[in-house]
Amino acid sequence: MSDHLFEHEQDIHTDFKEKMTYGDYLQLDHLLDNQKRLSNHHDEMLFIIIHQVSELWLKLIIHETRGAIEAIEQDNLRASFKMLARVSKIQSQIIHAWDVLATLTPAEFMAFRDKLGNASGFQSYQYRLVEFVLGYKAPHILKIYKKNSDVHAILEEAYHKPGLYDVAIRALARNGFAIDQAVLDRDVSKTYEKNASVEKAWLDVYRDVSTYWELYELAEKLVDIEDWFQQWRFRHMKTVERTIGHKIGTGGSSGVGYLKQVLDHYFFPELWELRTKI
């Protein structure tokens, strides 16, 4: 049936001697040659592909978030909404990836875990970049990547740039809200700490949605991203617990214990606290 239908598609291109193909455009030769198992175990392929796909999604999250930061800085909030909404959709994809990885049983993982050596998702520099663009900055993180000067330079640049919440707060100030000058002038290489003037500004936005509709929508986009991020962290923690219990991680972290600790961190604290006060 499919061959019969193909015969009637007279305009389909079949001669690619001088033309770029789908595989050429996506560089599939390189992409599909990068799943190299270090063991002969069948399920190592799953482990590699899940993590490689997640890294690609992280790359797109960084790309979209940076675009949103630039749009907000230019007071083009509407453009940022599309990018931030896309980030949330990407996050849902990464969360579902844990469901696939959770099909890996402890016995299956232990059959090739030793081949990982000290390699660990904890070392993912793109995950750190996501934290940086969202505003979470921890100085000890940069030390992990000193060995790789190129990666270290990428991270250090992002470390000293304003994160998504920084530019959102500055947008509040440009719209006439009284934000403490110390917040606007703060060292953006340090993790943001909640501030009463920022909370009051967001409360005013939520209490007068019709007047501040775009700022209100921006706030809800940020909440979406944080919500999905927390769900991603939770699924990560439960998948690790399901697969290796409370063993020490391959990278030396406490594994499940560490992942449980980070569940309590908020990127945009005032946007969550105002829900109790509004």
Residue with tokens 């919500």: 227
Asked whether the beta carbons of 195 and 270 are under 8 A apart, the reply is yes
Asked whether the beta carbons of 37 and 45 are under 8 A apart, the reply is yes
Annotated binding site for substrate: 47-51, 113, 250
Asked whether the beta carbons of 205 and 218 are under 8 A apart, the reply is no
Residue with tokens 């020490």: 248
Single-letter amino acid, residue 241: E
Rg over alpha carbons for the chain, rounded to the nearest Å, is 22
Coil, strand or helix at 143: helix
Q: Which two tokens stand for residue 156?
A: 């250090």
Annotated binding site: 47-51, 113, 236, 250
Residue with tokens 């640049």: 157
Asked whether the beta carbons of 173 and 184 are under 8 A apart, the reply is yes
Nearest to 168 by CA among 121, 221, 230, 206: 221
Annotated binding site for heme: 236
Q: Which two tokens stand for residue 119?
A: 């390699």
Residue with tokens 């214990």: 257
Asked whether the beta carbons of 154 and 129 are under 8 A apart, the reply is yes
